[in-house]
A and B are shown apart, each in its own frame.
Chain A
Amino acid sequence: MEQDMNRPDRLEQVRAALDTVTDPEIDESVTALEFISRVEVNDDNDVCVEFRLPTFWCAPNFAFMMASDMRDAVTEIDWVRSISVRLLDHFSADLINRGIALKQDFRDAFPGETDDDLESVRLKFLGKAFERRQELLMRYLLGIGFTAEWMTRISLQDLMGLSLDSEGARLRTLYIFAWRRLRPERPDADLAFVALNEDPLEPSQLPNYLRKIGGVRRNAEYNGLICRSLLAERKAEMAGVSD
């Protein structure tokens, strides 16, 4: 009885955990991108998550990253007894699903087809997320009147103390999340806005710098809009077949 009452709540908790998982190339959550096709929690608190990507060939490394992030995010919920994550309709689905179930390293899931673990790719795309979020936040702050001089001087703590409207606060949260993931050991007194290689920014060079990192956003945006369009058509096709 108590479990029945909790069920919707538990589904919500699983969904919230999945919200924190992003597609590394698009830097948006797998839920916002509508990759998740099914979430179930049974009476014994076993969780099942199924997801589908926009194409049959989406890069297996990113698929593997997302699947293992989903598994890890849901595992962190205290009441979860087991978690099964399944990728559907993908040319490498079997290898990926087995690798995720066995908690394999990517190298072991695809023996002979990789020469390193996914960590370097993961780090590279975390850096891209950092730049994309930084550009959006800095352009926003410039737009509401903050100066380049001021932005290149303030600390993360100063940034957190700013009073911003909801859009500004949203961009700030996303940025700080990436900032902390990239350099978890750094104090909040460090500069809020630095280049990815940690170099400080020159106020006079800021327009050029923003143009440069704007490229990262444009690529992600392209991926996002193509993915959404392909996934919508793929779902329509699947629905047509099952009708």
Chain B
Amino acid sequence: MFTTKNGEKIFVIDSHIALWDGSPANQRNIHGEEFINCFYGYHKISPKEYYWPREKFEKYSEADLIKDLFEEGYVDMAIFQPAYLGDFYKEGFGNLKRNWALIQQHPDRLIGNGWWDPRNGEGGLEQLEREAEMYKLKGVKLYTAEWHGNSKGYKLSDPWAQRYLQKSIELGIKNIHVHKGPTILPLNRDAFDVADVDDAASSFPDLNFIVEHCGLPRLDDFCWIATQEPNVYAGLAVASALIHTRPRYFAEIISELLYWLGADRILFGSDYAIWRPKWIIEQFMDLELSEDLAAEANHTLSLEVKKKIMAENCARLYDINIAKQCARLGLPIVEEPVGKDAGVGVA
């Protein structure tokens, strides 16, 4: 829980966290090594005092996660968004079983999403059924850039992806978190294309599509899609970490999102353990939009808006009752929001 300077308590749901194993023992090949190196490069956008040594970054413990999120990081609830990456890591980079074990110790705090990959065909659909039941899945994290044998990525508009989306509805999995990484085939295309999200969002209006990293580096394309499709949301993971080194730039991103999507479709995420939520949340809660940006956004970054981003929007998607959750966790009760804002600034 974050306490403002005026003493107001803010409930926090971190919609994007991970418990990964990128250590050499789990690396399947050079790709596994390069992948965690790349993450470590991202990690270095943190303030210096938050740097981890490489070994710890490759594999940290469950106790680290609990401390960094719930004891020091103001986070009240968090959602695992596992990236499997089976072609790079022997036991997977993220691992549902390991997540589940921790969820059982902290059932009021942790939610575990699963994943699927349309290239696994029928077998993958059966696996999804099993995992949906075993892990009570309400959401999945999709990594469209994931390598899989000879394939270097897939699109949500692929026929098999459509079958998996249909299956997700049947299984009660309604939150589809999409990491739009650079799928690289065919090689001559602009690889960050987000158009397939548009296609999937209009074909499956009952599903929520949370585009992680708000489509960066195709923020403009993403915003365009999100204005067309009411079931498309922006996940702030990665973008939020820019707040330290590039506050003005982060403010520009937030004002674009507020202008195009409004305040009800933006979800906070730290992308732990690339970054620890503590400093991101402190800086975000401190942030105000400059006059010119607020005018462009047609919104201010008021406390009401911040509360929506920090928890209320995510709570709606995951059927979390914040007041009840406070009671369960023994926290001061935060009042339930009055309701969605009536579309201020939504195009």
Interface residue ranges, A against B (CB under 8 Å): 25, 54-57, 59-61, 91, 106-107, 110, 113-118, 120-121, 124-125, 211-212, 215-216, 218-223, 225-226, 229-234, 237
Binds A, one of B97-105, B179-187, B318-326: B179-187
Cβ B246 vs Cβ A230 within 8 A: no
In the bound complex, do residue B41 and residue A57 qualify as a contact, i.e. CB atoms below 8 Å apart? no
**Which residue of the partner chain A has the closest CB to B188?**
A114
Sample (10) of A-B pairs whose CB atoms are under 8 Å apart: A56-B30, A114-B188, A121-B188, A211-B296, A215-B219, A218-B249, A225-B246, A225-B249, A231-B41, A233-B41
Once A54-B41, A218-B256 are accepted as A-B contacts, the answer to whether A61 and B216 lie under 8 Å apart by CB is no
Q: Which of B44, B186, B220 contacts A232 (CB 8 A)?
A: B44
Contact B188 A222 (CB under 8 A): no
> Is there a chain A Cβ closer than 8 Å to B191's Cβ?
yes
Given the known A-B contacts A55-B38, A225-B249, A233-B40, are A110 and B219 also in contact in the complex, defined by CB atoms under 8 Å?
no
What's the least CB distance linking B79 to chain A, in Å?
A: 24
Please indicate the chain B residues that have their CB under 8 angstroms from the CB of A230 in the complex. Answer: 38, 41-42
A115 to B182, CA, bound (A): 18
Tell me which of A117, A218, A234 has the highest count of chain B C-beta atoms within 10 A of its own C-beta: A218
Complex interface: chain A residues within 8 A of B190 (CB): 121, 124-125
Asked, given contacts A215-B219, A219-B219, A229-B45, whether A234 binds B37 with beta carbons under 8 Å apart, the answer is yes
Given A54-B41, A56-B38, A229-B41, are A222 and B216 also a contact pair (CB < 8 Å)? Answer: yes
- The answer to whether A225 touches B41, judged by C-beta atoms less than 8 angstroms apart, is no
Residue ranges of B at the interface with A (Cβ–Cβ < 8 Å):
30-31, 34, 37-38, 40-42, 44-45, 182, 184-191, 216-220, 223, 242, 245-246, 249, 252-253, 256, 296
When the two chains form their complex, are residues A219 and B41 in contact, meaning their CB atoms are under 8 A apart?
A: no
Task: Assess whether B187 is in contact with A229, with CB atoms less than 8 Å apart.
Answer: no
Query: Which residue of the partner chain, among B45, B217, B252, contacts A223 with CB atoms under 8 Å?
Result: B217
Q: How many A-B residue pairs have CB under 8 A?
A: 98
> Given A56-B38, A61-B191, are A115 and B186 neighbors across the interface (CB < 8 Å)?
yes
A61 to B31, CA, bound (A): 19
Interface residue SS majority, chain B: helix
Shortest beta-carbon distance, B93 to chain A, in Å? 15
Contact B216 A219 (CB under 8 A): yes
Which of chain A's residues has its CB closest to B259's CB? Answer: A211
Beta-carbon contact of A115 and B188 below 8 Å: yes
Q: Say whether B41 contacts A215, CB under 8 Å.
A: no
CA distance A56 to B189 in the complex (A): 19
User: Assuming A215-B220, A218-B249, what are 4 further A-B pairs, CB within 8 angstroms?
Assistant: A91-B31, A107-B188, A221-B249, A229-B42
Q: B187 and A222: CB pair below 8 A?
A: no
Establish whether residues A57 and B184, one from each chain, have CB atoms under 8 Å apart when the complex forms: yes
Shortest CB-to-CB span from A98 to chain B, Å, is 15
Cα of A220 to Cα of B220 in the assembled complex, Å:
11
CB atoms of B184 and A60 under 8 A apart = yes
User: Which of chain A's residues has its CB closest to B182's CB?
Assistant: A59
From the candidates B42, B186, B219, name the one contacting A113 in the complex (CB within 8 A).
Answer: B186
Whether the Cβ atoms of B187 and A114 lie closer than 8 Å is yes
**Is A215 within 8 A of B223, CB to CB?**
yes
- Given the complex, which residues of A lie within 8 Å of B40, measured CB to CB? 233, 237
Q: Which 9 A-B pairs have the closest CB atoms?
A: A215-B220, A233-B41, A230-B41, A56-B34, A114-B188, A219-B217, A222-B217, A114-B187, A223-B217
Once the chains are docked, how many angstroms separate the CA of A127 from the CA of B256? 22
Residues in chain B near residue A221, CB distance under 8 A? 249
Which B residue sits closest to A119, measured CB to CB? B188
